[in-house]
Amino acid sequence: SRTKSDSGVPEVPVSADDTPEVLNKALSGLSSRWKNWWVRGILTLAMISFFFIIIYLGPMVLMMIVLCVQIKCFHEIITIGYSVYHSYHLPWFRTLSWYFLLCVNYFFYGETVTDYFFTLVQREEPLRILSKYHRFISFALYLTGFCMFVLSLVKKHYRLQFYMFGWTHVTLLIVVTQSHLIIHNLFEGMIWFIVPISCVICNDIMAYMFGFFFGRTPLIKLSPKKTWEGFIGGFFATVVFGILLSYVMSGYRFFVCPVEFNNDSNSFTVDCEPSELFQLQDYGLPPVLKSITGWTTVKLYPFQIHSIALSAFASIMGPFGGFFASGFKRAFKIKDFANTIPGHGGIMDRFDCQYLMATFVNVYIASFIRGPNPSKVIQQLLALRLDQQLHIFNSLKVHLTEKGLLPALEEAA
């Protein structure tokens, strides 16, 4: 394979057992099936505990963790590509891959900062300049990388170099874009970040548990260990879990309020008057449930109704992210993306379903939850010329007068 410049994909060796020696000794008397069950269980509890800690540390720490996870996932996928084609010594492949990652993150995070922290950006002169020319700077940075790639093209390796150029960009599309959507969901309120992620985690755990103890019927050839029993059991367990978790979290402002920048304290705050979405309301029960429970109404947060959609997606469509990752790994004959987490594989092995979930949550919020944002409208108005602002003011004044609202407002003032 070293003598061929454009041959097929060579095999990547399967990683060896990466279980810590302490666990190997403690579980030495168990069969491989039960040993794997205990290793996965112990590491899962450890990861859930870490998840609780970073939630306690607040949204900014969560955002940094998302960035770190994104970088690690990108590294794992790019490393697979580099391992597959390492023998060809493609020039600048790794350097350009990381450069494009930097460019894309600069673009997305710059857009996020401008959208959500406009007052902070306008107050600082360097940030205001960067914000004004942000897209031009982002394009210039990408164009530099594009020219570097063209200059790095080498005879006899053209096809492979373009293949890896596509590899890098597809990886950026899957990893960076989705992690950016996760951060957008986080700024809408931590509950939009925690509940979807927790539903995916719950579905992963419960599907594994139901499949381990009751699984008999294979679900899909891409993942031979997946069973219909695990899929169905995970679905019902996740829906119940999502409703209960949403009920608990909806009562705390820390979880339901958007992340905002406070000019007075020069800090990021999570404090607001909860919207109707997070206020208890009475819902009438269907006749069947009335006869069973004897209740006519039940008090629920409206968000709990939305949590059913979130948990259902996590249970039905979320696993397809895992199936997609399984197909990718089978294509390159590897067991896991990496061996970062014993018994679980790499970080990408744990987050393959999360990225698909992030896109759904972002689309769901934009379609069914979020209305026009007054603060963003004001941001755009303040960016206009003074004569344009005056024209909009007069048009709005005429509109309010026709609606009969302006005289009432003037009398109140």
Q: What are the CA-CA distances from residue 24 to residues 27, 29, 32, 343 (Å)?
A: 5, 9, 11, 12
* Distance from C-alpha of 196 to C-alpha of 322, rounded to nearest angstrom: 16
Long-range contacts of 88-91 (CB under 8 A, 24+ apart): 88/5, 88/157, 88/160, 90/154, 90/157, 90/160, 90/161, 90/164, 91/152, 91/154
* Distance from C-alpha of 134 to C-alpha of 184, rounded to nearest angstrom: 18
* Distance from C-alpha of 346 to C-alpha of 350, rounded to nearest angstrom: 7
The stretches in the chain having pLDDT less than 50 are 1-15, 87, 412
Residue of 64, 65, 74 lying closest to 94 (CA atoms): 74
* Distance from C-alpha of 396 to C-alpha of 313, rounded to nearest angstrom: 42
pLDDT on residue 249 = 94
pLDDT on residue 319 = 87
Residue of 365, 361, 358 lying closest to 182 (CA atoms): 358
* Distance from C-alpha of 282 to C-alpha of 299, rounded to nearest angstrom: 5
* Distance from C-alpha of 102 to C-alpha of 172, rounded to nearest angstrom: 10
* Distance from C-alpha of 96 to C-alpha of 74, rounded to nearest angstrom: 13
Long-range contacts of 393-400 (CB under 8 A, 24+ apart): none
pLDDT on residue 4 = 42
Give the position of tokens 């590899």. 167
- Residue 248's Cα: distance from chain center in Å? 22
* Distance from C-alpha of 217 to C-alpha of 230, rounded to nearest angstrom: 9
**Token pair belonging to 75:** 């590294």
